[in-house]
A = this chain, B = another copy of it.
Amino acid sequence: MSNELLISDKKMARQNGIVQPLLTDLYQITMAYAYWKSGKVNDVAVFDLFFRANPFQGEFTIFAGLEECLKFLENFNYSDSDIEYLRQALPGNIEPEFFAYLKDLTCKDVKVSAIEEGSVVFPRVPLLRVEGPLIIAQLLETTLLTLVNFASLMATNAARYRMVAGKSVSLLEFGLRRAQGPDGGLSASKYAYIGGFDGTSNVLAGKMFNIPVRGTHAHSFVTSFSTLEDINSVILRHAETQKPCNLLELASEWRNRVSAIIDISPEEASDGELAALISYALAFPSGFLALVDTYDVKRYNFQGLPSQHRLRNMNGHTGYNSNCGTNGTRTQITSNNHSTYGYSTVERTLRSGLLNFCAVALALNDCGYRAVGIRIDSGDLAYLSVLARDTFEQVGKAFNLPWFLKLTIVASNDINEETILSLNEQGHKIDCFGIGTHLVTCQRQPALGCVYKLVEINGQPRIKLSQDVGKVTIPGHKEAYRLFGADGHALIDLLQRSSEPAPVVGQKVLCRHPFQESKRAYVIPSKVEHLCKVYWKDGHVTTPPKPLSEVRERVQSSLKTLRQDIKRNLNPTPYKVAVSDDLYNFIHDLWLQNAPIGELS
């Protein structure tokens, strides 16, 4: 079975089976034939893989996808059926020797240098440098771009979510159902984890990449129960004593006791929901995290008659009287001028779910288990999280259960960076965000524009000019260095010709804007990091890629070296990428050579 193959334990396995040499653009293969026909089999090329602009209107990018690139290099080989397909797809006059040449082609003569996966990277700095025979180096283009573009985009997106959410909040990726293709979902799970998420709902991602998986139940679970009679068994054995406890009886008693404290009558809570939560608790007594908003709409109140809870809020008794309603359903509804019969669902929102949850959580407590918490999947998340936390505080204090105050509140409805920023302003009480669509499809900018450009052939530099200066490539074989200041922050990335000596700590380096003559700065680095390492040479991985967890740590440590103003959400400061004086002159000499002088006509 193919799903077995994916997870076999051979060295560096677990790559999606569709990552293979034919996962490329046809023009790579037609070019390969034209090169082959032109006697360019022994030409040696250098390609740079880089991007020109950071995504999401930000000023940084996280580089990811390297491990997948290395697996691709390692497995690069046209199968017999690939060759057979190409024979059919290409014109009939292709010389048969070309197919024999392709059949034997591997990446053994290619050398690939790269920046460490998980590093913060910037426009124009090569993420990958591919050196070797022109034909094979060219044939790698599309697949390498595919593997780096989305991986880096996702890791960057996830890192941005982590930055706005802060360190104390858990972030879970819940996006599989809305992802772009099955592997779009799988890649999203992997790179969201690298970017700083704590787990995923995607089970296959858990299995393949050893990412923590999380999940409890959906609304359909709740609606599949109608009455308390739908509960099958009611007995749970006590966690320690093993004494049988009747969870239904306990929960029903607790529901009455709690209802008096949180001002909601048991009649207002759904019995079907209680049946569902009890059933779920019986299955997962030590992992009881319940979705509590299934029946939020069922409970309403006549407008104009503030409930006791609302009065408490208005008096500030609960400590929550801030502007929690700047967006979301609550404000929309209360601002409608429905007079007598308008729904004021808000006042009752979550109360069925919260009451039932507390009842089951307290019953579980009687059986020696501690509930985990709740999930809210609709409505005004700031307001509802505060309402839930208030409730937990009231209940916890009433029954002297301090841990009840710390129950986890998960929120998961259509969350994006802006939502989190807004929730932060409103003082939410959420411990964990479950984030789907906006995260996994990178809705704000669904593609990163990495390109793969020929910068040298047979030792001769190549420059691609463009009417748009931003699209002019920086020619030749180069090295990239990151120069750090005395406070540990990254100051600038410096590209040099590979023939130049590396910058030295404590010694002044002239850094120049690649295209603007007068923009120059002297930098005295306190630390110099050589950004590119050789990862692939002579047919082997020379620097083994790190485990996901270390790449994930690398993201955070690398981000830490950036000044806060470069990372901020609004109007971030651009980080500088410079060239050495030598490289500056090299670029501009070549530019003039390649841009002939016009004629008056």
- Chain A residues numbered 171-224 whose CB sits less than 8 Å from any CB in chain B: 174, 176-188, 201-204, 206-207, 213-221, 223-224
Chain B residues with Cβ below 8 Å from A299 are 596, 598
Report yes or no: A182 in contact with B182, Cβ–Cβ below 8 A: no
Report yes or no: B601 in contact with A301, Cβ–Cβ below 8 A: yes
| A194–B204 CA distance with the chains assembled, in angstroms | 28
Residue A284 is within 8 A (CB to CB) of chain B in the complex = yes
Contact with B along A286-299 (1 / 0, CB 8 A): 11000000101111
| A23–B203 CA distance with the chains assembled, in angstroms | 6
| A182–B187 CA distance with the chains assembled, in angstroms | 9
Contact with B along A17-31 (1 / 0, CB 8 A): 111101111111111
Report yes or no: A149 in contact with B134, Cβ–Cβ below 8 A: no
With A85-B206, A284-B91: A297-B45 Cβ-Cβ less than 8 Å:
no
| A77–B184 CA distance with the chains assembled, in angstroms | 22
Chain B residues with Cβ below 8 Å from A201 are 25-27
Chain B residues with Cβ below 8 Å from A33 are 283-284
- Chain A residues numbered 1-32 whose CB sits less than 8 Å from any CB in chain B: 1-7, 16-20, 22-31
Report yes or no: B284 in contact with A45, Cβ–Cβ below 8 A: no
Chain B residues with Cβ below 8 Å from A601 are 301, 305, 307-308
- Chain A residues numbered 122-143 whose CB sits less than 8 Å from any CB in chain B: 134, 138, 141-143
Residue A521 is within 8 A (CB to CB) of chain B in the complex = no
Chain B residues with Cβ below 8 Å from A185 are 23, 146
Report yes or no: B598 in contact with A150, Cβ–Cβ below 8 A: no
Min CB distance, A275 to chain B, in Å? 9
Residue A437 is within 8 A (CB to CB) of chain B in the complex = yes
Q: Which of A180, A201, A467 has the most CB of B within 10 A?
A: A180
With A178-B149, A181-B186: A596-B298 Cβ-Cβ less than 8 Å:
yes
- Nearest residue (CB) in B for A445 is B443
Residue A401 is within 8 A (CB to CB) of chain B in the complex = no
Report yes or no: B5 in contact with A2, Cβ–Cβ below 8 A: yes
Report yes or no: A465 in contact with B17, Cβ–Cβ below 8 A: no
Q: How many residues of A contact B (CB 8 A)?
A: 139
- Nearest residue (CB) in B for A460 is B226
Chain B residues with Cβ below 8 Å from A284 are 30, 33-34, 91
Report yes or no: A25 in contact with B466, Cβ–Cβ below 8 A: no
With A24-B203, A297-B465, A297-B466: A182-B146 Cβ-Cβ less than 8 Å:
yes
| Interface stretch of the complex, out of A160-168, A446-454, A572-580 | A446-454
Across the interface, A150 reaches (CB within 8 A) one of B35, B184, B282, B453, namely B184
Residue A569 is within 8 A (CB to CB) of chain B in the complex = no
Chain B residues with Cβ below 8 Å from A36 are 283
With A149-B178, A329-B467: A37-B184 Cβ-Cβ less than 8 Å:
no
Report yes or no: B30 in contact with A454, Cβ–Cβ below 8 A: no
With A34-B279, A81-B7, A595-B298: A176-B23 Cβ-Cβ less than 8 Å:
yes
Min CB distance, A397 to chain B, in Å? 24
Chain B residues with Cβ below 8 Å from A599 are 301
Chain B residues with Cβ below 8 Å from A221 are 31, 34-35, 138
Report yes or no: A441 in contact with B206, Cβ–Cβ below 8 A: no
Residue A432 is within 8 A (CB to CB) of chain B in the complex = no
Residue A79 is within 8 A (CB to CB) of chain B in the complex = yes
Residue A245 is within 8 A (CB to CB) of chain B in the complex = no
| A221–B594 CA distance with the chains assembled, in angstroms | 17
The interface of chain A, by Cβ under 8 A from chain B, is 1-7, 16-20, 22-31, 33-40, 43, 45, 47, 77, 79, 81-82, 85-86, 89, 91, 93, 134, 138, 141-143, 145-147, 149-150, 174, 176-188, 201-204, 206-207, 213-221, 223-224, 226, 230-233, 279-280, 282-287, 294, 296-302, 305, 307-308, 329, 333, 343, 345, 378-379, 437, 441-443, 446-450, 453-454, 457, 460, 462, 464-468, 594-596, 598-601
- 15 more CB-based (< 8 A) A-B contacts, given A3-B17, A26-B203, A183-B183: A1-B77, A2-B5, A16-B182, A19-B182, A20-B204, A24-B204, A25-B174, A26-B215, A30-B284, A89-B213, A143-B182, A146-B176, A147-B182, A329-B468, A378-B466
Closest 9 CB pairs of A and B: A183-B183, A26-B215, A27-B215, A39-B232, A2-B17, A180-B180, A145-B177, A441-B446, A181-B187
